[in-house]
Amino acid sequence: MNHLESYLILSALLFSLGLYTVITRKNGVAILMGIELILNAANINFVAFSKFVTHQVEGHLMAIFIIMLAAAEAAVALAIILNLYNDQGNINVDEADALKR
């Protein structure tokens, strides 16, 4: 388990699952969870390349920065979804097309 490939395979799986979730789900919260998966796949890549290729801490720093950004993003996104629920009674993003009508 001490090879770069293992980490990259894990991160690719996570990314694919996240992307699948984002594309297929209509539920806003589920999409948000998919985005978290994609971000974490990126985090794994950062840390893995930092550990095995550069041997420095920039990757770690970037991963922590992304976690913080993900938290902020989750807060904003959840606020949007909450307003969406207040507005239309569900959190289905397909139905959020008021500007298009």
- Please give the residue ranges that form the binding site for other proteins (CB under 8 A): 19, 22-24, 93-94, 97, 100
Measure the CA–CA gap between 51 and 33, rounded to whole angstroms: 27
- In whole angstroms, the minimum distance from the beta carbon of 9 to other proteins comes to 17
Which C-beta is closer to other proteins: that of 28 or that of 47?
28
Tell me 24's DSSP state: H
Which C-beta is closer to other proteins: that of 58 or that of 87?
87
- 66-92 burial, b at 16+ Cβ within 10 Å, e below that, comes to beeebeeebeebeeebeebeeeeeebe
- In whole angstroms, the minimum distance from the beta carbon of 34 to other proteins comes to 10
Which C-beta is closer to other proteins: that of 47 or that of 91?
91
Tell me 100's DSSP state: T
- In whole angstroms, the minimum distance from the beta carbon of 54 to other proteins comes to 24
- In whole angstroms, the minimum distance from the beta carbon of 91 to other proteins comes to 14
Neighbours of 56 (CB within 10 A): 10
